[in-house]
Structure 1
Amino acid sequence: MRIVVIGGSGHVGTFLVPRLVRAGHEVVTISRGTRQPYVPAPEWQQVRQVTADRRQEDLAGTFAGRVAGLGADVVVDMLCYRSESALALVEALRGRVGHLLHCGSVWRHGPSRKVPITEDGAGAADPVGEYGIEKDRIARMLKAETAAGGLVTTSLHPGHIVGPGWHPVGPLGNFDPTTWYTLSAGRPLRMPGSGTELMHHVHADDVAQAFEHAIARRDAAAGEDFSIVAPTALNVRGYAEIAADWFGRTATLESVGWDAFRESTAAEHAEASWQHLSRSQCLSIDKARRLLDYAPRYEPDQAVLEAVRWLVDHGQLETAGPLVDLPG
């Protein structure tokens, strides 16, 4: 099949595009062309790359038509954050493309009430914040489109994506690199809340696996939405203790209130911590296992360790000592 991947050089596309080429598909990617995939692979030599700025072309009303003109059998949209953009793409592809797959987010669900949260939102409050609300709106629109006999669609909703080449969501629910230095040095780490708040990570290649399986199992995936996460979730305290072990240290955690945490933390990091930890999410993957044969390779700590090791090896993360000899 000819498969068009919008945002093909991003976190998931880095792994998905080579998978699709190895499976024998003709692959076309659309991106701004400002960066290379995070992990090199020889399969990229067989990929046609189209340069386009989706944001600008959406404003001009030309992007959806550009995608439709590529003559794809399948379109994978990794880069849609607004329901207006998603609807324009659906209308342009209806009757012309066999399957549209959308990359959503587990933040389509709000804070957890009981876990694990299922795709129908059981166990979660309503989504909060513009990003989560829009991702939920897109997923509902796609499901309704297929139910009405229109374009065949599937939405997949990853957790906190982890992989080599970028900083993972850390033990405090933010991207502050000093957290890793503190843990590697065995220094006390100020932790907001109780330490039982949950984060559900997933390796980018496991997300790519889920997309590949959904493409291959079009009939099973048609009109469905799936949570795509690791088999287990981490809580703040456990995550910090596991991470300290990677450096041969024991985590020393100081529980503080949110006001005190915000006073001692840069505003952007404190806000990221609140956004992640206040949701405290753990998602079920039963549906993805049953319908897509989704079988994630990585536990969340294994995925994060791979990312941290890559950052340390490439001089992009300062730590007080080396990682001990642990399996990745």
Structure 2
Amino acid sequence: MRIVVIGGSGHIGTFLVPRLVRAGHEVVNISRGRRAAYAEAPEWEQVRQVTADREREDADGVFGATVAGLAPDAVVDLVCFTPESAAALVERLRGETGHLLHCGTVWRYGVSRRAPIREGEGTPPFGEYGVQKDRIARMLKEETANGGLATTTLHPGHIVGPGWHPIGPLGNLDPEVWRTLSAGRTLRVPGIGAEHMHHVHADDVAQGFELALANREAATGEDFHVVAPSAMNVRGLAHAAASWFGQEADLESVSWDDFRAGTTAEHADASWEHLSRSHVCSIEKARALLGYAPAYEPDAAILESVRWLIEHGRIEVERPLAV
């Protein structure tokens, strides 16, 4: 197939585009700039690169025409964040493209009341990002149910991979967390550390998209969670991370007010956003219909990311990795 990937130079595309090339597809990557993927791969030499500013072209009403003009058999949209942008693309591709795959998010759900969450069974989302993504997923499902464009939405958790900072044990991007755990110092944890986060390696997300493309009949009109086989809570991830440096995690339970007082507003807000949801999502539907088999448990995926950050001088730690 000729597959157009929108935003293929990002986290997921770094692994998805080479996968599609190895599978024998003709791949076109649409990106806003000329940024290289996070990990090098020889397959990129076979990829056609198209530069387009989606936000600007959406405003001019021409982005859908840009995509359709590439005559794709399938389109993988990794960077759509508003229902209006999604609807404009659907309108232009309807009747011309065989399959549109959209990257959603597990934040289409609000706070967790039952675990694991099966597709469509979570609580209503909150926050602009989750609300907009939920609206897009529902619109696409309705489009297909009404006999329109064949669509599929895949919902990743917290994406992890070499080249960028992972969401850490406290549910934020504070680099000092890794220094604290590596030194065996006390890490202040809001609450008792029982809240979960559901990570996923970017290559496992890419696997999900590749499988959905290969199993179009089973994937059409469906939503799938693409996350790691398990989710880890705050204290579990903190203990795992400390062990990478040969340490035991020393965790101090504090109130949310005390936690906020001891960090920046940015880190505190990020922690609340991640931990208040406490998502654990089921992948049984993706296993059954697509054959999804994620290779990474969350701690292994995060360790790979942390190792890369240390080796490239992006974070500072007190002790070297012991694993």
Interval containing the TM-score (normalised by the shorter chain): over 0.9
Q: Does 1:194 align with 2:169?
A: no
Q: Could you give the per-residue CA deviations for residues 256-290 of structure 1, whole angstroms, max 9, x where no partner exists? A: 11111111111111000000000000000000000
- Paired residue secondary structure (1:275): helix
* Greater alpha carbon shift after TM alignment, 88-97 vs 50-59: 50-59
Rounded Cα–Cα distance in structure 1 between residues aligned with 2:31 and 2:87: 20
For residues 321 and 33 of structure 1, the distance between their equivalents in structure 2, rounded to whole angstroms, comes to 38
Please give the per-residue CA displacement for 1:170-190, whole angstroms capped at 9, x wherever unaligned.
000000000000000110011
Match of 1:51 in 2: 51
Stretches of structure 1 lacking an aligned partner (at least 5 in a row): none
Cα distance in structure 1, aligned partners of 2:123 and 2:151? 25
Q: Name the aligned partner's letter for residue 186 of structure 1.
A: G
Q: What TM-score does the superposition give when structure 2 sets the normalisation length?
A: 0.99
For residue 155 of structure 1, what is the amino acid of its counterpart?
Answer: T
Partner of 2:262: 264
What is the DSSP-based 3-state SS (H/G/I as helix, E as strand, rest coil) of the residue aligned with 1:27?
strand
Q: Choose from 287, 290, 293 the match for 2:288.
A: 290
Paired residue type of 2:234: V
Of residues 300, 310, 313, the one that matches 1:312 is 310
Unaligned regions of 5+ residues in structure 2, if any? Answer: none
Distance 1:46 1:306 in 2: 27
- Following superposition, which runs of at least 4 residues in structure 1 exceed 2 angstroms of deviation? none
TM value normalised by structure 1: 0.98
- Per the alignment, residue 14 of structure 1 pairs with 14
Secondary structure of 1:118 counterpart:
coil
Report the Cα distance in structure 1 between the residues aligned to 2:320 and 2:46, rounded to whole angstroms. 38
The amino acid of 2:53's aligned partner reads D
2:71 matches 1:76: no
What is the rounded CA distance, in whole Å, between the counterparts of 1:31 and 1:225 in structure 2? 25
Q: Tell me, what secondary structure is at the counterpart of 1:56?
A: helix
Give the distance between the partners of 2:220 and 2:139, measured in 1 at CA: 13
Q: Give the distance between the partners of 2:11 and 2:128, measured in 1 at CA.
A: 22
Task: Give CA deviations for 1:284-314 in whole Å, capped at 9, x if unaligned.
Answer: 0000000010000000000000000011111
Amino acid at match of 1:195: G
* Alignment pair present for 1:103 and 2:116: no
Whether 2:150 is the aligned partner of 1:155: answer: no
- Count of aligned pairs: 323
**Counterpart of 1:189 in structure 2: which amino acid?**
L
In 1, the alpha carbon distance for the partners of 2:302 and 2:64 equals: 35
Residue 230 of structure 1 corresponds to which residue in structure 2? 228
Residue 136 of structure 2 aligns to which amino acid in structure 1? I
2:28 matches 1:33:
no
Aligned mates of 2:145, 2:205 — CA distance in 1: 25
Q: CA deviation at 1:205?
A: 0.2
Task: Determine whether 1:115 maps to 2:108.
Answer: no
The CA deviation at 1:34 is: 4.1
| In 2, Cα distance between equivalents of 1:268 and 1:113 | 26
Partner of 1:301: 299
Distance 2:307 2:233 in 1: 21
Over aligned residues, Cα RMSD in angstroms? 0.6
- Distance apart, 1:60 and its partner CA: 1.5
C-alpha distance in structure 2 between counterparts of 1:272 and 1:34, whole Å: 29
Partner of 2:4: 4
C-alpha distance in 1 between matches for 2:120 and 2:77: 22
Q: Matched residues in 1 for 2:156 and 2:133: separation?
A: 11
- AA of the residue aligned to 2:25: H
Q: How many angstroms apart in 1 are the aligned matches of 2:235 and 2:109?
A: 23
